[in-house]
């Protein structure tokens, strides 16, 4: 009975340590990957700006509004964005956000940084541009969106110019099925009496923190002296906007295989250590187990909702 109780206790302690390691991987390990991806994206976006004839911005997220509101003349139409490639730079001075936005909101896209919703216009175009971002993992670019209030500024640079948005209302939460917040908003022009499509920006992230039960929405309108760029053509009818925050089903099988492999490596390490106890045995065994565990965590993270 003592051996059984002791074995159960050791097993529970091991499971607890593995869970803590996974939490550490989620909160800090993923940030390393995001930081490296952002460095690459910044270089690529700067190169794209030079090719388009736009100067690389030298201001930061904390630059005074009198400097950052300077805009570039918009072009006739922006280039067609390629999924996974940089399309914009977003800066939110109040919460010190300065990130490159990629095209797409898949698991792989959001690991690089904030992602632009495919099917919505780009920032600066007529319509409602949508951008999603992680709340707690992969650098947590949108971790402090709940700190914004009405009147706060959001600066976005695309290949067609610099755009200044202002929050027209406080952040609010919606259920995961309320994708209509990504649809264009309209208003009646008081002079012409005709309905016009507004140029707006919607940021989305999970809510509350460490949960994907709801979505936090930040809505802002364009406040810029330059006219917005033309609206993009509507997406094909079969393409329907979704928050896309439910994880990847195709990663379930690799997750199970990687978990079994990590358990097998860990068991071999444990048996070897008990037969040949010593620091050298421990150090030699921990390296392959850490690699196997990292692979398991990599696939496990893809299965759970990808915008924590």
Q: Where are the alpha helices (DSSP H) in 54-182?
A: 65-68, 107-112
The CB density around residue 101, as the number of other CB atoms within 10 Å, is 28
Mean pLDDT (whole number) for 283-290: 85
What is the pLDDT, as a whole number, of residue 77? Answer: 58
- The highest-level CATH class for domain 32-222 is mainly beta
Structure-block tokens of residue 57: 């911005």
Q: What H or E segment, with its residue span, contains residue 173?
A: strand 172-174
Domain boundaries, the chain: 32-222, 246-308
φ and ψ of 59, to 5 deg? -85, 165
Asked whether residue 73 carries a pLDDT value surpassing 50, the answer given is no
Q: What percent of the chain has pLDDT over 70?
A: 81
Mean pLDDT (whole number) for 268-289: 83
Q: With contact defined as beta carbons under 8 Å apart, do 107 and 282 qualify? A: no
What is the pLDDT, as a whole number, of residue 58? Answer: 43
What is the pLDDT, as a whole number, of residue 122? Answer: 93
Mean pLDDT (whole number) for 181-188: 89
Between 8 and 265, name the one with better pLDDT.
Answer: 265
169 prior amide bond cis, ω within 30: no
């Amino acid at each position: 009975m003592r051996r059984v109780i002791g074995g159960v206790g050791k097993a529970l302690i091991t499971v607890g340590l593995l869970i803590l390691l996974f939490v550490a991987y989620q909160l800090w390990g993923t940030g390393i990957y995001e930081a490296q991806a952002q460095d690459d994206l910044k270089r690529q976006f700067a190169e794209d700006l030079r090719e388009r004839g736009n100067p690389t911005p030298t201001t930061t997220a904390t630059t005074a509004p009198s400097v950052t509101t300077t805009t570039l003349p918009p072009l006739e139409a922006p280039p067609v964005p390629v999924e996974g490639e940089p399309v914009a730079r977003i800066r939110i001075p109040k919460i010190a956000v300065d990130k490159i936005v990629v095209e797409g909101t898949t698991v792989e896209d959001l690991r690089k940084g904030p992602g632009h919703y495919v099917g919505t216009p780009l920032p600066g175009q007529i319509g409602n541009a949508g951008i999603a971002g992680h709340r707690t993992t992969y650098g947590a670019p949108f971790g402090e969106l709940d700190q914004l209030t009405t009147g706060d500024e959001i600066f976005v640079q695309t290949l067609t110019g610099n755009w200044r948005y202002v929050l027209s209302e406080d952040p609010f939460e919606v259920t995961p099925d309320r994708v209509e917040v990504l649809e264009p908003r309209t208003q009646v022009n008081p002079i012409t009496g005709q309905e016009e499509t507004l140029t707006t920006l919607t940021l989305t992230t999970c809510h509350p923190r460490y949960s994907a039960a709801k979505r936090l929405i930040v809505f802002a309108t364009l406040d810029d002296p330059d006219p917005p760029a033309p609206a993009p053509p509507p997406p094909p009818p079969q393409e329907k906007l979704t928050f896309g925050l439910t994880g990847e089903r195709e990663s379930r099988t690799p997750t199970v295989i990687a978990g079994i492999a990590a358990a097998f490596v860990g068991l071999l390490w444990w048996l070897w250590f008990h037969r040949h106890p010593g620091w050298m045995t421990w150090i030699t065994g921990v390296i392959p187990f850490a690699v196997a565990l990292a692979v398991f965590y990599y696939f496990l993270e893809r299965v759970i909702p990808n915008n924590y």
